[in-house]
Copies of this chain bind each other. A is one copy, B any other.
Amino acid sequence: MNKKNIHLNKFIAVIGLGKAGLPLAAVIANSGLTVIGIDVDKKRCDKINNGINPIPEEEGLDDLVKNFGGKTLVASTTYQDAEKCCFFIVIVPLFIDENNKPDFTILENAFRNIGKLLKKGDCIVLETTVPPGTTETIVKNWLEEESKLHVGEFYLAYSPERIMTGSSISRLKEFPKIIGGVDQISGKIAFETYKQFIGHLSLVSTARVAEFVKVIEGCYRYTNIALANELFKISEEINVDFYEARKYANHQYCDIHLPSTGVGGHCIPVYPWFLIKEMENRNKQDITTMLHSSHCVNDGMIDFWAQRIIDYCKNIEKPLMQVKICIKGISFRKGVKSVYRSRNLALAKLLKEKGLKVYVYDDLFTRDEIEKMNLTFSTPDIVDVVFDSFSLELTNQEIR
């Protein structure tokens, strides 16, 4: 990298100012660099430029947006505004479709737009969690097609986000982060720039390894949640207190996870599919036994809980179909206002399908928002049975 590039790298473009992108953009600004943030959401951009943090649950973000928003952290809906940047970070969502296949539409759009701005010597880093191999194949192709340049003339690397909504700022400062290039020089250039704002950074051999690292972390979580769910069902069957057993089973060599209604959200339940689908493409589906089984166990937990709730309702002195059941908590995770792949929501709908009187309550959602999901709102205090989906306890309030 020549001196000119090092200088220009002071202007960093961050594409995507969502829950992952904005904290990163703010941390970069805080390190003394200038950030041009690009996001499709005009209102969000305006807020940021006025120093107002659109993600209040993110600890420490208020101050950063207040200090840098509209100054060295400028948000825009127009890619053209990032044309003077020589370093681009892409951190936009990747969803999977109804067949559990990754849908690259948003990602492709971001990279094609960057490709149009790309100059010789520029460096692009992807942070979105993707199937291993994505950066060096389709991402590279999109950029090369739009820019008419080749890797070697520009640099391309991958560095998975490892944030956790609520503590993303401290994660970026302290948690181990990795970066790998599609070639050696790309990795090195991306690493040197990232070192300016990331506290604990390691350079790995390739972008593909970095992609795989992020996906297998998710697979570890997903499989271990499935194991916890299975052991929980067994403990119920043999009349053992799972939580007591778990407390004493866990030590430095054992980390049994917590049981749940399943796994929701954009991350953990999605990443195993990146590997499952890739192996299907190669006609090697027989080597994804554990990931497949984990999916069956986790997604099957709503049937287990539905049965438990029904069994519990039989203790109430009312005909089963008259018992008022409240599912408390329908977001996919406590404290995050999203029902993406929420298993608690799926549980509420399952009970409703079975003809039961189901009500829903969640601190984060209004009556209106819940009714738009085709569910009935109720506060937990006026029902017969409350299922607190975040604590997994059945509470018979017996209020008539």
Contacts and interface: CB of A to CB of B under 8 A. Distances in A.
Interface in A141-185: 175-176, 178
B231 A216 contact: yes
A382 interface: no
B213 A249 contact: yes
Given A132-B240, A220-B249, A289 B212 contact: no
Nearest to A276: B234
Given A227-B219, A249-B220, A238 B202 contact: no
Interface string A213-257: 110110111011011001101110111110011101101011110
A296 interface: yes
A249 B215 CA distance: 9
A291 interface: yes
A343 interface: no
A397 interface: no
Given A132-B238, A238-B132, A278-B238, A216 B233 contact: no
Contacts of A251: 175-176
A282 interface: yes
A40 interface: no
A210 B220 CA distance: 26
A336 interface: no
Most chain B Cβ neighbours within 10 Å, of A216, A238, A294, A296: A216
Contacts of A366: none
Given A217-B249, A234-B279, 6 more contacts: A208-B238, A209-B248, A212-B240, A217-B256, A223-B224, A289-B297
23 contacts: A133-B238, A175-B251, A178-B248, A204-B248, A205-B244, A206-B240, A208-B240, A209-B240, A209-B248, A212-B238, A212-B240, A214-B249, A216-B231, A216-B246, A217-B249, A217-B253, A220-B256, A221-B254, A223-B227, A226-B290, A233-B287, A234-B278, A292-B293
